[in-house]
Structure 1
Amino acid sequence: MSLIVKAGKAGKRVLKKFMPEQPRHVSYTRRIECVKTSQRVVAMTFDDGPMDLPAVPDKFSGRSLTDILLDTLQEYDAKGTFDVIGDTGENYPDTAGRSGQADWGGVRYDHYPDINQDERGGVVHNERLMHRIIDEGHQVTNHGYRHIIFGKKPFVYGKREYLKSVDEAVEDLTRLHRLLREKYGYEMTMGRPPHYVDKMAGGFSSYDVYDQMEYLYLAASFDGAGWLPITHGSARETMNAEIGAMVEPMRKALEEDPNALCGQIIFQKDGYNMARRTPVAFGLAKQLELLRKYGYRVVTVEELMAESPFADVGREEPGFEKLVRLQKSRGIVYSDNRLRLDQPITWGEIAMLLAPRKEAVQRRVKQMKATGAYQHIHWGAMDWCAEQGILKYAMNPDEASKSLPEGYFDPVRSLTRREVYQAFRG
């Protein structure tokens, strides 16, 4: 395993344990990691494809990796979510990094399926594979046209080029979104940032990008593990170990609790791992066999969210269907996809409930660009509501360049979010 990546993952775990939890806010864009359901249903996502190169080692008569994954899913009556890229062929000049390290496919940029083989990967070069993915009922999501990270990531990708503004990121995603719509008649509704880099220049984040795209943030709650290489042992030993790393954590989780994966999203890779091997070509069938043994259905993320679109509220909630309808057009859910119905509602959250989404998003972005300063996620909605004169607090011209006054977040008497949403009539 790459020592840098391993150290980075360990560091994140330590920081998460000892640092205070970051505040969450009601947001139009929600990070979808899992949903609340008692049903044995799970989703699998495959990043970085499609890939028209054979598996390594090739034991499938030269068939492309994406074909192998599709064949395997079909055999188990499973559906996948393919988080695709457009084309990395524009990401030159560049040089390859070290095999087994995070920059294996390029120091300045990513190249899929590999450096100097860009014409064998991505939507642009793989019309047949894209038709097969869509025609066989799988979901397609947006992983960036050129797979360029949204902001700086100095620890792992210190030499990596990144997108310099929120507008550049929106332009890159729109380019792939338009390609899928115009060539395949397919409308994407979700995206995953390259390498999960969220922080961007100017105080923006990937959530601001997806707000403008009207996307949900596709994340995952269970690592399929095929993307990480094991670097010790013979070629056969390392491949077997990499396949085992895909299967054994899943086996252990299900043995300890057969319901452990209910509503979970599994991360996989439609491409080489960092050592240019494809354990997913062999491990996927073993994972699907294990899930079948425990009675799981494997569906798209979109289908998974039909069970519940929320991480903390399921069908047992009395107002569930109303909440499902409301979240389609209004900002009522926190960025981590939780409703937190028993918390007191705030003025900012009422503003998100009332304001038109497009108005709220555009006003906040415009204000941040004009001032060069971060504005609270509810700023645009509050500004619109104040302009309409429909909330208690009005934003006067002297406050226009400031963050929201503290008074905006006073609880509304003792009303909970549940009570307000149950009473809401539009």
Structure 2
Amino acid sequence: MKKCLIILWVALSLCYPMNANAGQGPSASRGRDYYEERGEILWEVPTHSKVIALTFDDGPDEQSTMKILDLLKQHEAKATFFVVGSRVEQHPDIVSRELQEGHEIGNHSYTHPPFHNISGNKLLSELNQTQEAILDATGVKSVLFRPPGGSYNESIVRTSKDFGMLTVLWSWHQDTLDWRKPGVNRIVKKVLDNARNGDIVLMHDFVPNSTQTVEALAIILPELQKRGFEFITISELMSYQENTNKFMEVNH
């Protein structure tokens, strides 16, 4: 996992030198096709291989994240955790465990503010503080970014790129809405009924006063494995892209 992360980091760094709304369709100034064709945002990776990327936002959490890590380990599954910087500072040991067990760490801002109208200075601060928190906890910086609420525009995408990160969202048919606490069965049904090769599934490992995500994951993992799916990280999923280089090209 560390080797894969380092390779992607180097590739992105060469292309992008360092400078100092959940739902069916996140808000944006341009449509999905524009960003997807330019390789600037990743929603999913169409592939004939039975692979899926589980992603967890908003952690780490000393209870939910630990239970999720235990389940992933039990089923030999890998995932990507989009962490909130302020919570990383509170639980660096959990983030360190995530990386040590072969999972990937993504930047999900420092305080999880609304991103639909975020200012340039605030955006820079949110990304930079989280990168530093991840570095302190793991020894590496993230090469992936997911904006809170899935909100994106030219400024957000460009700034993420300037930090050497690829903006990653999720398959629109795989938004579990687990943060709303819809019930374990609804979360399970959302994932299982819509499972497709190359999906990126959106879940959360920090939902206050809720165990629904953990309970749902305990059902989802063995069922999808019975169907032949393998659970991999975002960087691993990108290797299934027919033209992986398009996510690493400089766009002007």
Structure 2 length normalisation: TM-score? Answer: 0.80
State the distance in 1 between where 2:33 and 2:245 align: 26
- 1:152-191 residue pairs with structure 2 within 5 A? 152=117, 163=118, 165-191=119-145
Q: How far apart are residue 252 of structure 1 and its match? A: 2.9
Of 250, 260, 265, the residue aligned with 2:191 is 250
Equivalent AA in structure 2 for residue 218 of structure 1: V
Q: 1:206 to 1:291 in 2, by over 3 A?
A: same
Partner of 2:70: 71
* Structure 2 counterpart SS, 1:81: strand
Partner of 1:34: 44
- 1:185-204 residue pairs with structure 2 within 5 A? 185-199=139-153, 204=154
State the distance in 2 between where 1:81 and 1:51 align: 15
State the distance in 2 between where 1:270 and 1:208 align: 27
Contact 1:271 1:278 in 2 (8 A): no
Partner of 2:84: 85
For residues 290-329 of structure 1, give each alpha carbon's deviation from its aligned partner in whole angstroms, at most 9, with x where no partner exists: 1111000001111111111xxxxx3xxxxxxxx545753x
The reply to whether residue 136 of structure 1 matches residue 69 of structure 2 is no
Q: Where is the helix percentage greater, Structure 1 or Structure 2?
A: 2
Rg larger in structure: 1
Q: How far apart are residue 217 of structure 1 and its match? A: 0.9
Q: 1:227 to 1:307 in 2, by over 3 A?
A: same
For residues 346-395 of structure 1, give each alpha carbon's deviation from its aligned partner in whole angstroms, at most 9, with x where no partner exists: xxxxxx4xxxxxxxxxxxxxxxxxxxxxxxxx4xxxxxxxxxxxxxxxxx
Q: How far apart are residue 28 of structure 1 and its match? A: 6.4
- 1:375-386 residue pairs with structure 2 within 5 A? 378=252
Q: How far apart are residue 226 of structure 1 and its match? A: 2.0
State the distance in 1 between where 2:165 and 2:108 align: 12
Partner of 1:277: 210
- Aligned residue pair count: 229
Structure 2 residues without counterparts, runs of 5 or longer: 1-20
Contact 1:210 1:216 in 2 (8 A): yes
Of 198, 209, 217, the residue aligned with 2:167 is 217
Structure 1 residues without counterparts, runs of 5 or longer: 53-63, 88-121, 153-162, 231-241, 254-259, 309-313, 315-322, 332-351, 353-377, 379-426
Q: How far apart are residue 277 of structure 1 and its match? A: 1.8
Q: What percentage of residue pairs aligned between the two structures are identical?
A: 25
Of 205, 210, 215, the residue aligned with 2:155 is 205
For residues 260-293 of structure 1, give each alpha carbon's deviation from its aligned partner in whole angstroms, at most 9, with x where no partner exists: 51001000101116xx322011110101111111
Equivalent AA in structure 2 for residue 38 of structure 1: H
Partner of 1:415: none
Larger relative contact order (C-alpha < 8 A, sep ≥ 6)?
2
State the distance in 2 between where 1:71 and 1:175 align: 28
State the distance in 1 between where 2:92 and 2:80 align: 17
Partner of 2:59: 49
Bigger CA drift: 137-146 or 244-253? Answer: 244-253
